Amino acid sequence: MPLKIYPLLFASLATLTSCSPLKSSPHDEKHQWELTVHEVQTTLDDLRHDINCFQTEIQILDGRIKYYENALATLKKEGLEQQQAKIELLSQQIQSFEKKWAFLEKNQNASSQSAQQFLSHANETTASLSQFKDRIQELEQEILLQNRKFDELAKLKGAIESIAKGSRGVATFSKIYKVRSGDSLEKIAKAHKTSVEKIKKLNSLDNDLIVIGQEIQIPAE
């Protein structure tokens, strides 16, 4: 167990050695060693628990991001459908108004009241177009706000993943091995009671090629 991988264990051993009497029975020494090993095991269990918590939080964030993405897609779809329906309705109204205006131009005897009603409808149409434009601007602001929230969630997710990867790195390998002449991954794996696949996966190796002087992380047993 390298000192840089398990600092808590060696700290505990140093404390045990410095605080123990000069003369102690084998039974006391064995008991003290058992307490130290138990403390290290407890620390490792806590670390595994923290890693599981980080992974759970990442999954929750993934679920929330997908939910917001689906909600935004639905909102966009519904908004576009409603906008298209309003545009078609307004287009029909405008066409209807244009026909009425042409009819009024051909019939000079049309009453002034009908003309006023037409103008009133035209004003309502203008007001509707103005409201429609305002609603489009509101939707654009809502979309921008949602995009900012997604960016913040993505940054938070990246930070949590970095923490989780850093935590996993503490407990995935036990030591560093420097490749010597005549070494192969299979030979190194047998010497350290592990497998070639575990060594390749831990060191992100695409093949079995290694070179002299290369430092390789050895998986923990």
Residues of the chain with CATH 3.10.350.10: 174-219
For the residues 113-131, what does the mean pLDDT come to? 81
Q: What is the CATH number of domain 7-171?
A: 1.10.287
DSSP state of 217: E
Question: 174-219 sits in which CATH class?
Answer: alpha beta
For the chain, what percent of residues have pLDDT higher than 90?
Answer: 27
Query: Would the pLDDT of 172 be above 80?
Result: no
Alpha-helical runs (H) found in the chain: 7-19, 26-106, 112-171, 185-191, 196-203
Residues of the chain with CATH 1.10.287: 7-171
First to last CA, the chain: 10
Its pTM stands at 0.27
> Roughly what angle, to the nearest 10 degrees, separates helices 112-171 and 26-106?
160
Q: Give me the pLDDT at residue 9, please.
A: 47
